[in-house]
Amino acid sequence: MEFNHYSVMLEEVIENLKIKPDGTYLDGTLGGGGHSFKIAGSLANGHLYGIDQDEAAITAAGERLSGFGDKVTVIRANYRDAVSVLKDKGVTGVDGILLDLGVSSYQLDTEERGFSYKADSSLDMRMDRRQRLTAREIVNTYSQEDLKRIIRDYGEDNFAANIAKHIVEARAVKPIETTFELNDIIKAAIPMKIRATGGHPSKRTFQAIRIECNHELEVLRDSLDEMIDFLNPGGRIAIITFHSLEDRIVKNAFKKNEDPCTCPKNFPVCVCGKVSKGKVITKKPIVPSEEELNINSRSKSAKLRVFERANDRN
């Protein structure tokens, strides 16, 4: 299957990265290479590093970007390791970073990957298939309390407790092996009147299990400060999120790096010594245009936030 991934808010990303022809850039979630193709096309003697943990993405993006020759370096890794990987290559800082945190259309549409509740396949959901933890293991081995917590916190589902209870009861009879088996269990745990109006009943639980399987929120939380520190003076980091949990982490990290002072508000001067790393460019997130929503309905929950490193790198 061809690696298709619509590049969400492509023009807005390029505009906000303010690409310099001789700059160094990092795309930490390469996917199909759509954003990277546009970035690389804006470079004269600059360089782009593209990173992704998904083998299929690396193959597809490598082919798509091959025409740029040695202007582009493609690396298979998790973006949490991007800074250390680039430092190992002698890079001391970058002029722009992009993270597009959405699950790719390819991952959703490749049935055997198990990301989608719309196709019957084995419960997998690994973005990096080298890792051992799968959705099947989560569903069949996590305690009822842990399942409830994950579905409540990562899926923001009001029926988390009941869904967890139904999962544990079902797996006591036989292991839960497929997406459709899990669909049926979730459906039985949600009242019919809610199912009639609340969208697909499995959407939130599948999101929650995927986030847990790939440690998505921890990776994001643990990466942002290091990435901001790795920006050259005036460099920008642009992040596209697809649900409120990710967006909150990005918003808070950007805010803290803009104003890290921990002094009580009534202090006349700052004594904590914590200095601003830069400024938040997007006081409100940028969202897709109506035109884009008509082309790609999957982008409807996308939000783009941008932070700019101070000109004097502290």
Q: How confident is the model at residue 314 (pLDDT cuts 50, 70, 90)?
A: low
The full DSSP string for 59-116 is: HHHHHHTGGGGGGEEEEES-GGGHHHHHHHTT---EEEEEEE-SPPHHHHH-GGG---
- Which tens digit of pLDDT belongs to each residue from 10-24? 999 999 999 999 999
162-169 long-range contacts (CB < 8 A, ≥24 apart) are 162/189, 162/190, 163/189, 163/190, 163/205, 165/189, 167/139, 168/144
Residue 295 confidence (pLDDT) above 70: yes
Residue 292 confidence (pLDDT) above 60: yes
Please tell me the predicted confidence (pLDDT) of residue 5: 54
Based on the number of CB atoms within 10 Å of its own CB, is 119 exposed (0-12), middle (13-18) or buried (19 or more)?
Answer: middle
The answer to whether the beta carbons of residues 282 and 3 sit under 8 Å apart is: no
Nearest to 46 by CA among 98, 94, 105, 97: 94
Number of residues that this document lists for the chain:
314
**What residue type is 268 in one-letter code?**
P
- Which tens digit of pLDDT belongs to each residue from 260-277? 888 888 888 888 888 999
Sign of CA dihedral 78, 79, 85, 89: positive
From residue 65, how far is each of 7, 70, 133 by CA, in Å?
15, 10, 31
The answer to whether the beta carbons of residues 101 and 239 sit under 8 Å apart is: yes
**Of 185 and 56, which is predicted with more confidence?**
185
Highest mean pLDDT among 60-64, 115-119, 137-141: 137-141
Please tell me the predicted confidence (pLDDT) of residue 1: 44
Tell me the two tokens of residue 300: 């409807």
- Give 210's Cβ-side CA count (13 Å radius): 22
Please tell me the predicted confidence (pLDDT) of residue 265: 83
Residue 94 confidence (pLDDT) above 70: yes
Determine the Cα–Cα distance for residues 213 and 133; give it in Å rounded to an integer. 6
Please tell me the predicted confidence (pLDDT) of residue 2: 47
pLDDT more than 90, % of the chain:
74
Please state, rounded to an integer, the average pLDDT across all residues of the chain. Answer: 92
- For the whole model, what pTM was predicted? 0.91
pLDDT more than 70, % of the chain:
95
| Lookup result for tokens 């099947």 | 136
- Which tens digit of pLDDT belongs to each residue from 183-239? 999 999 998 877 766 678 899 999 999 999 999 999 999 999 999 999 999 999 999
Mean pLDDT of 61-79: 95
Based on the number of CB atoms within 10 Å of its own CB, is 13 exposed (0-12), middle (13-18) or buried (19 or more)?
Answer: buried
All structural domains of the chain, each given as residue ranges with its CATH number in brackets, are 10-106+217-309 (3.40.50.150), 114-214 (1.10.150.170)
Residue partners of 158: CB distance under 8 A and separation at least 6: none
Residue 123 confidence (pLDDT) above 60: yes
Please tell me the predicted confidence (pLDDT) of residue 183: 94
- Which tens digit of pLDDT belongs to each residue from 137-191? 999 999 999 999 999 999 999 999 999 999 999 999 999 999 999 999 999 999 8
Mean pLDDT of 92-115: 83
